[in-house]
Structure 1
Amino acid sequence: MFLTSHADSLRSDLRARLPKVLPRRLGIAVSGGGDSVALMHLLHEIAQAEGIELRVATVDHGLRAASADEAQTVARQAQRLGISHDTLRWQDWDQTGNLQDQARQARYSLLTKWARDQDVAAIALGHTADDQAETVLMRLARAAGVTGLSAMSATRSQGGVQLLRPLLDVTRQRLRNYLTEIDVGWIEDPSNQDTRFDRIKARKALQDLEPAGITPEVLTRVAENLAQAREALAVYAQESARKIASVNDGDMVLDRAGFGALPDEIQRRILVGAVLWISGAGYPPRRTTVAQALEAVLSGQAGSIGGCLVVPQGNKAWICREFGAIEGLSAPLGERWDGRWVFSGPKVETAEIRGLGEGGLLQLPDWRVTGRPRLALKSSPSIWQGTDLLAAPLAGHSNGWRAELASDWPEFHTLLLSH
């Protein structure tokens, strides 16, 4: 295919945003829109030059009658390029909640599972400078802080798969110009005109702001500047946490005096990091909830946040799992419990892992010798056979079993660098 200097420049800019050494098998998420179709064609050129294998996936959310036909259109485009294509169908929406947010979460979940199944180490996504700018405006409307206004990162890991966004400094129009030059069509999603959605409102607002010099390129640079500030704050938070926060069998223990001496933003980052590490949640709690929990830590009071509890203990504050968040949750021996706990020990066919709870504590009169707060022990993992408690290692009753965090659960202080 003959490439113009414009196409060469675009491909060069894209390659500069990718890892120096690409994985031998690279995935591409292609919806059929202009951004992702352009990404597929550009990466096809790069893959041919560098000898890597591409795989394409399209998520069909099933929310519009035309979505299945659009996925087929992408399949045909990929086939013409000699690229393997799979359609991933979302069928789990229960017709409640925030549709766009649930669809987005489902999209990433489907894509990362597909990547693991296909032995695809990384997936390239077609987010552009326009998407970045719209995200900044949306988060500005929510009074976001440094992390929120940093918007989308160029790379991040989810479910063991690297997500790459190599088009974050490329505008939507530039990609469409490229497709026009190479005579390739794309699909226009009608929802892109639906002003009920916040993103479309931001898109319209951005058009009005352009005469004032507030363009996608400018807002992308703002996001990049704030991303640098975010990284510096993350390092500061990590270094501070090593001094005032310690891990105790899956819980976090804060030195309240040391915590109180830190700047507000660093306090917030450490607390949010602890909650995300304990709960495994993908998103931080609301700022109002964080503010209330911070006050509880500083004043030596009890509090709750994001499926976790703040439990005062003298000059310390424990951050632990809330029993209500795991009540009723069970798992067979040999499987994970609460997403992060695994047991090793005797095999008992009918035994299962559950939270210790009040009933378990009543069977352990000596639990206080562990030094752990009662509320922290209530949500700790234990092994039951019916109503009989067989083991509660964190409560001092191991009975031959050992409870440990799963080997792939992140190390807390490392996690602070990614949130």
Structure 2
Amino acid sequence: MPDDDHSVISARDAKRLFADWKDVPAIVLAVSGGPDSIALMWLAARWRRNLARGPRLIAVTVDHGLRAEAAREARDVKRLARALDLPHRTVRWNGAKPKTGLPAAARAARYQLLAQAARTSGATHILTAHTRDDQAETLLMRMLRGSGIAGLAAMARQSERDGVLLARPFLHISKSQLVATLNRAKIGFADDPTNRDMNFTRPRLRALLPALAAEGGDARNLARLASRLARANAAVEVLADGAERYLALREREASRPGFDAGIAGFKVFDFEAFAAVPEEVRVRLLQRAIDRFGPEGPAELGKVEALLSALDRASATTTGGKRPKLKQTLAGALISLVDGRIRIEQAPPRRRRGD
């Protein structure tokens, strides 16, 4: 595919972009009516027509009920879907809307509604139109929040959400290429004014991108950084898998035959063996166990890091030959350090006032 940000995406390019999903039974296309998602629908429909056999495509529009124009835009998407011989559904986010954290709440509702539509339609995948520009913005947002390696890997090409696979074929494609493709095909699209509303974080970061690009931090380089961080994150996950198996083996050897702490409803690590593992891997092992047994997760990275520091301090302050002790709750999990072992299990219910 040409590396020109304003180049048109050809039928051959589309075949390559959607190739990973040619054998799945059905796909939901998330189509809001903006240029990115309209391009997704148009390119996917053209790709499917050129296949002898391929997945059913179902276009789904989420109306968040936040803008008066949204209903009209959904009808416009339906008309275009009909012209492309695609079934279309509009699903609505009903109920009261939060006064704070609206973008995050709307995003969560959107994915939940899309997943419901996919299950109803027998679709295994949801395709979204996130672009390289979106990836760069996501990286910046997470960087400013102090995310770890996993967060800075930004959006994955494919991930699981609510029991459905969420796929993003355009993560290495610029938004301007999608707009150029629609202009060449003479296909209209909606303009969502909230994309320019400076009350929200993404539009403010978007406004900074030209200045960052002048210093070399353009969307292509930021997306490349996210890709490299995703590669590093995958490598650390492999190390964490190996460390988890090693620590489990150590625990089985020290316990009764057939003992498996995970199956028993708790996780146990030998403290000395755990302390010998690299810090990033230890953080992940704690986070995995807390998220597994703590019903209030996922645990925040900063709080897991603080817990690891507390464990290290407890070990460093041991005196008189006594083994260190620690007991702490996090995300609904109880973490104990007793007799040289770290034990993680679900915390007992909190006592209510008056009990």
Matched, 1:312 2:337: yes
Q: Evaluate the alpha carbon distance shift between residue 265 and residue 93 of structure 1 in structure 2; reply closer, same or farther with a 3 A threshold.
A: farther
Secondary structure, in 3 states, of the residue corresponding to 2:50?
helix
Paired positions, count: 323
Matched, 1:253 2:254: no
Q: Measure, in 2, the Cα distance between the counterparts of 1:234 and 1:93.
A: 39
Q: For the Cα contact (< 8 Å) 2:30–2:37, is it kept in 1?
A: yes
Instruction: Determine the structure 1 residue equivalent to 2:196.
Output: 193
Q: Evaluate the alpha carbon distance shift between residue 92 and residue 258 of structure 1 in structure 2; reply closer, same or farther with a 3 A threshold.
A: farther
Instruction: Determine the structure 2 residue equivalent to 1:344.
Output: none
1:65 aligns with one of 64, 68, 76: 68
* CA drift at 1:247: 0.9
Q: Measure, in 1, the Cα distance between the counterparts of 2:40 and 2:97.
A: 32
Q: Structure 1 counterpart of 2:143, which letter?
A: L
Q: Structure 2 counterpart of 1:74, which letter?
A: V
2:303 aligns with one of 289, 300, 323: 289
* CA drift at 1:30: 0.5
1:144 aligns with one of 138, 144, 147: 147
Q: Structure 2 counterpart of 1:312, which letter?
A: L
Instruction: Determine the structure 1 residue equivalent to 2:280.
Output: 265
Greater RCO (CA < 8 Å, at least 6 residues apart): 2
* CA drift at 1:96: 4.4
Secondary structure, in 3 states, of the residue corresponding to 2:344?
strand
Instruction: Determine the structure 1 residue equivalent to 2:257.
Output: none
Matched, 1:135 2:138: yes
Q: Measure, in 1, the Cα distance between the counterparts of 2:230 and 2:11.
A: 24
Instruction: Determine the structure 2 residue equivalent to 1:28.
Output: 29
Q: Evaluate the alpha carbon distance shift between residue 268 and residue 11 of structure 1 in structure 2; reply closer, same or farther with a 3 A threshold.
A: farther
Secondary structure, in 3 states, of the residue corresponding to 1:234?
helix
Instruction: Determine the structure 2 residue equivalent to 1:156.
Output: 159
1:33-82 per-residue CA deviation (whole Å, 9 max, x = no partner) reads 11010011010011111233110111111111222222122111111111
Q: Measure, in 2, the Cα distance between the counterparts of 1:220 and 1:13.
A: 20
Q: For the Cα contact (< 8 Å) 1:292–1:303, is it kept in 2?
A: no
1:275 aligns with one of 281, 285, 290: 290
Q: Measure, in 2, the Cα distance between the counterparts of 1:291 and 1:102.
A: 27
Q: Evaluate the alpha carbon distance shift between residue 184 and residue 148 of structure 1 in structure 2; reply closer, same or farther with a 3 A threshold.
A: same
Q: Structure 2 counterpart of 1:166, which letter?
A: P
Q: For the Cα contact (< 8 Å) 2:64–2:93, is it kept in 1?
A: yes
Secondary structure, in 3 states, of the residue corresponding to 2:326?
coil
Q: Structure 2 counterpart of 1:257, which letter?
A: E
Q: Structure 2 counterpart of 1:110, which letter?
A: L
Secondary structure, in 3 states, of the residue corresponding to 1:267?
helix
* CA drift at 1:211: 1.5
Tell me the TM-score normalised to structure 2 length: 0.85
Q: For the Cα contact (< 8 Å) 1:58–1:87, is it kept in 2?
A: yes
Q: Measure, in 2, the Cα distance between the counterparts of 1:125 and 1:8.
A: 17
Q: Evaluate the alpha carbon distance shift between residue 101 and residue 11 of structure 1 in structure 2; reply closer, same or farther with a 3 A threshold.
A: farther
* CA drift at 1:17: 5.8
Q: For the Cα contact (< 8 Å) 1:28–1:40, is it kept in 2?
A: yes
Structure-to-structure mapping, 1:1-400, within 5 angstroms: 7-9=8-10, 12=13, 15-16=16-17, 18-19=19-20, 21-50=22-51, 51-52=53-54, 53-245=56-248, 246-279=261-294, 284-298=298-312, 299=314, 300-324=325-349
The alignment yields a C-alpha RMSD, in angstroms, of 2.3
Q: Measure, in 1, the Cα distance between the counterparts of 2:266 and 2:78.
A: 47
Structure 2: which 5+ residue stretches go unaligned?
1-5, 249-260, 315-324
More strand per residue: 1
Q: Structure 1 counterpart of 2:36, which letter?
A: D
Q: Measure, in 2, the Cα distance between the counterparts of 1:279 and 1:113.
A: 26
Q: For the Cα contact (< 8 Å) 1:18–1:164, is it kept in 2?
A: no
Q: Structure 2 counterpart of 1:290, which letter?
A: V
* CA drift at 1:144: 2.0
Tell me the TM-score normalised to structure 1 length: 0.72
Q: Measure, in 1, the Cα distance between the counterparts of 2:269 and 2:160.
A: 28
Secondary structure, in 3 states, of the residue corresponding to 2:334?
strand
Instruction: Determine the structure 2 residue equivalent to 1:415.
Output: none
